[in-house]
Chains A and B, each alone.
Chain A
Amino acid sequence: MTDATQSGPMLAADGTPLKKSLARSLRRRKLRALALIAPLLLFVLLSFVVPIVSMLFRSVENGIVAQTLPLTVVELQNWDAESGELPDEALYAAFTKDMIAAIEAKEHTKLGTRLNYEQTGMSSMFRKSGRKIKRLDPEADAPFKEKLIEIHDGWGDVDTWRVIKTHAVPITNGYFLNAVDMRRTPEGAQAQPEDKRILIKLFGRTLFMSLIITGSCILLAYPISYLLANLPMRVSNMLMILVLLPFWTSLLVRTSAWKVMLQQQGVINETLVWLGLVADDARLVIINNQFGTIIAMTHILLPFMILPMYSVMQTIPPYYTRAAKSMGATNWTTFWRIYFPQSIPGIGAGSILVFILAIGYYITPEIVGGTKGVFISNRIAYHISSSLNWGLAAALGTILLAVVLLLYWCYDKIVGIDNVKLG
């Protein structure tokens, strides 16, 4: 010991300077940790993150207009959308040429569907006009302006051209604007008409309901996990079966079962009426509203709260609380000052699981939520599988993702699950 302090840097057992040796061991440990993480990280990155990011990229990608109507888009640059006048013949000629090529490739109806998201009627306009424009000759049949307007009077409407011009950009913010109840217009972003605003409301509702669901899960799961963690093993294992049983009943079945329980001719209402607690004509409305969604989702997500809490509570040594009690702390103080802080990592893990899962659910709200218990994911699912408006779905998904990440970050700042360490 004394030798080392005398001459120069401290040396490790093998003779290298201690600092260097420590640094090397630290680096080795880092590498080992990374090596442990790497396979999974690569797997998730490749098979999940990359495809999802490219999916989400659709929320800004908008090449279809410029690809389908290349000449028209160039001509539209020269047209003043504010003038209120129709574009000139050059544009109609360019448009006809584009359309004939597009019809050949069967691309024009795709464009119609795309533009129909922005302006109702575009879909059939492109489809119907396509059949007639197909017969035009790009050289012989000029001029086209009158002919096109004759084919469909939509081509004589300034708004049609304004919409095409507005959405001719290859990268658009249009889907994001739609996702927050606004729209892209030649005059810039504008709010949607009052009667079409729904998405912001749904975002708010999704967050609010998910918070309530998380809260009620914490309330219900805490006593259960405490009981399980403190009972003798053989009893708690038996009770654990009760917690796990719902898992073996498919989500769809559980949701349907709640429907059977909660509806107005359902088990709960029938029992209450039979007992005379509720009059026959004043049965409780506990389904097809927010209440139904909260009950069913709390039930479905409860095990996701109980299990992390339980596995954390199991690691809390009982002698801390005993020590506190022996030093004269009351039951409440013991719980609140000693036991509760140690169980926070469990609450944290459980809450994150439940909250994030709740935000993304859509099958259960669809079945028991009625009109007021619907989540934003229901709209995402609708736009993916029915309306085929994947751009909007991707924009909604991206926003949802951003909100979750933001909340996760806040949570980390405020509660800081990582910082709660024992011993």
Chain B
Amino acid sequence: MKVTKTTLMAGAIVAVAGAASAEEMTIVSWGGAYSKSQLKAYHEPYSEKTGVTILNDDSSAEAVAKLRAMNEAGNVTWDVVDVVAADAIRLCDEGLALEIDFDTQLAPAPDGTSASDDFGDLLVSDCFIPQIVYSTTFGYRTDLVGDNPPSDICAVFDLETYPGKRSLEKRPINNMEWALLCDGVAKDDVYDVLATPEGQDQALAKLGTIKDNVVWWSAGADTPQLLADGEVIMGSTYNGRLFSVIEEQKQPVAMLWDAQVFDLDGWIIPAGLSEERQKRALDYIMFATDTQRLADQAKYISYGPARASSAPLVGQHADLGIDMAPHMPTDPENAKNTFLYNYEFWADYRDDIDAKFQAWLAQ
């Protein structure tokens, strides 16, 4: 019986294998709702226009390690990879990503502004083409905070007014900044203070005041689940996840935009592609990061387009029919007090502070 099964399976493999088409490219992304938004906004129109089949690979979480392994093995199978900016910088440093000439290899804005001006400060690495601005921010249970909804990031550290658990990401980045900010450090000085061992101790001490009341998360989907369970009263996560909890799932949750930390997510092209594949990848990037395409993505997910010229084109949610602009982290109403993830600082200090942070957690 086993033998027949095996033959059947082998037959199935051949059948599957036969279906593969000639011109295809593999695009790596995060999966879930985010990949779906890319499928609708980028992949489908691109396939329609060029006839290239796009294979989606949900491996972005392992992209850095896997790209390095592929590069060392000399067998890069990915064509375009979606990563966060910090990973892109690391990949660029390691020589694993292709350097891009933004002005010639990306489309200019409709009004003729060059791509590098249109993206502006968001071009944080030579290899990285930003796609969206997302933010790490807090959501809280409206039914558990009483008549006094929090409006200030320091509510996270205020156990008296807001008793209950909070969820924070299990890494130093963002948490250390918030802790210092609520420990009396001026916003402009945060990174100077954090660069010193005393400053790091200060931040950990501040986090220590709520340590017993923190649930640490490592996957972006954790906080929404914890909020829905009522297991935590407030928690940090990506703003798009909170949007889905509030608007799509109709949970009693609201956003706390104060001191949200902006971060970027975007494309890199792996180094070491054959000329033909590299050309196709660049063609895709040129298409997928133009002004209209970036604005289109915002129809499906509440992340802000990375081009300045895309912002006015952001419309309504494709299914819910609500205006997306007020849900964008970049909306002026939401962006009164914000941080931009300090890439340079964390590229240097990440290993050092992470070791301290983990040792502190384990105490």
Q: Which residues on A are within 8 Å of B, measured CB to CB?
A: 106-107, 109-110, 112-113, 116-117, 120-124, 127, 195-198, 201-202, 205, 263-266, 288, 366-367, 370-372, 374, 379, 382, 384-390
Contact = CB atoms under 8 A, between A and B. Distances in A.
A110 B94 contact: yes
Nearest to A127: B93
Contacts of B62: 385
Interface of B: 61-62, 64-65, 68, 90, 92-95, 165, 201, 211, 215-216, 218, 229-231, 344, 347-352, 354-356, 358-362
B358 A109 contact: no
16 contacts: A109-B93, A110-B94, A113-B90, A121-B348, A121-B349, A122-B348, A124-B347, A195-B201, A195-B359, A198-B362, A201-B359, A370-B216, A384-B65, A387-B354, A389-B351, A390-B68
Contact of A198 (B92, B93, B347, B359): B359
A154 to B, nearest CB: 11
A367 B221 CA distance: 12
SS class of chain B's interface: helix, strand, loop or mixed? helix
B347 A123 contact: yes
Given A124-B347, A196-B355, 8 more contacts: A116-B347, A123-B347, A123-B348, A127-B93, A195-B201, A196-B352, A266-B231, A387-B350
Contacts of A389: 351
Nearest to B95: A106
Contacts of B362: 198, 201-202, 205, 371-372, 374
Nearest 5 interchain pairs by C-beta: A109-B93, A198-B359, A120-B352, A385-B65, A371-B361
Contacts of B61: 385
A109 B230 contact: no
Contacts of B358: 198, 379
Nearest to B359: A198
A96 B215 CA distance: 49
Contacts of B352: 120, 196
A262 B157 CA distance: 26
Given A195-B359, A201-B362, A113 B64 contact: no
Given A120-B352, A370-B215, A371-B362, A265 B95 contact: no
Contacts of B65: 384-385, 388
B64 A116 contact: no
Nearest to A194: B359
A271 to B, nearest CB: 15
Given A198-B362, A263-B229, A388-B65, A109 B351 contact: no
B230 A265 contact: yes
Nearest to A374: B362
B58 to A, nearest CB: 14
A107 B64 CA distance: 17
A283 to B, nearest CB: 10
B47 to A, nearest CB: 31
A405 B95 CA distance: 37
Given A110-B93, A196-B359, A288-B215, A124 B64 contact: no
A109 B92 CA distance: 8
Contacts of B211: 371
Contacts of B215: 288, 370
A201 B359 CA distance: 9
Given A198-B359, A264-B231, A388 B90 contact: yes
Contacts of A120: 348-349, 351-352
Contacts of A122: 348
B351 A265 contact: no
A389 B350 CA distance: 12
B64 A385 contact: yes
Contact of B94 (A109, A117, A263): A109
Nearest to B230: A265
Contacts of B90: 113, 388
Contacts of A197: 359
Given A116-B351, A379-B358, A386 B64 contact: yes
Nearest to B219: A367
Contacts of A387: 350-351, 354
Nearest to A371: B361
A393 B308 CA distance: 41
Nearest to B171: A386
A120 B345 CA distance: 10
A201 B64 CA distance: 28
